[in-house]
Amino acid sequence: DIGAFTKGVQEPEDNSIFTVAEEDIDRLIFYQRKVQVDVARNTETNVWGIISPPGMAVDVADIQFTVRTLSNIQSDGKAGRISNRRTGLNRARMVFEVQRKDGSNEALFVGKHFKSKEGDIYFYVKSQNSNDVHVLSEKTLTRLRRGFGQN
C-alpha cells in the first residue's frame, strides 16, 4: 500500500492566477480611478516602457519586474470563494490588464486590504475569468504599481 509512504506529503499549492507568455503580450494597462497607464514594448529597441501618458519616467527594472510578474501572476494564497462585497471586488480599487497580441486579455482585479495575524497587509485579488479569490501581499502590489509609475 503506497498510502503508508505518501502520508503527510502534500503537493505544493498552485497559486497561479493566470499565465500569459511574455512574447504574446502586446501591452499592460493599469487602471485606478481616473488614472490609466499603458506599458508596451518599443518595437525598435525591444525594451518595455510607458507609452501613455507620455513623458512618464519609470525605472526599467521596475517595468521588467511588472512584465515578468504579470506574465505569470502568483498569489500569496487562496482565500476561497468570498462574497465580492466583503472582498471589495464588486468595485475593484485597481485593475492590471494584460492584453495579448491576438486581442484577448487577462485582468487582475484588486479589492480591499486586510492585516494578517502577523501584521502584514494583503489585498484580495481575482482574475476576471475566475471566481476564486486570492490574496496578494502589499509588497508585491507596491512593486507592480511602481512599474506603471505609481507610488
SS (H, E, C) the chain: CCHHHHCCCCCCCCCEEEECCHHHEEEEEEEECCEEEEEEECCCCCCEEEEECCCCCCCHHHHHHHHHHHHEEECCEEEECCCHHHHCHHHCCEEEEEEECCCCEEEEEEEEEEECCCCCEEEEEEECCCCCEEEEEHHHHHHHHHCCCCC
Q: What is the pLDDT of residue 131?
A: 87
Cell reading at 56: 512618464
Q: How far apart are alpha carbons 99 and 97 in whole angstroms?
A: 6
Predicted confidence (pLDDT) per residue in 11-27, tens digit: 445 899 999 999 999 99
Matching residue, cell 499603458:
38
pLDDT in tens, 57-96: 899 999 999 999 999 999 999 998 788 889 999 999 999 9
Q: Which grid coordinates belong to 54?
A: 507620455
pLDDT of residue 43: 87
Q: Which residue is associated with the grid cell 494584460?
A: 98
Report the share of the chain in percent with pLDDT over 90.
Answer: 80
pTM over 0.85: yes
**Is there a contact between 125 and 110 (Cβ–Cβ < 8 Å)?**
yes
The mean pLDDT value of the chain amounts to 90
Taking the CB of residue 22, how many other CB atoms lie within 10 A of it?
13
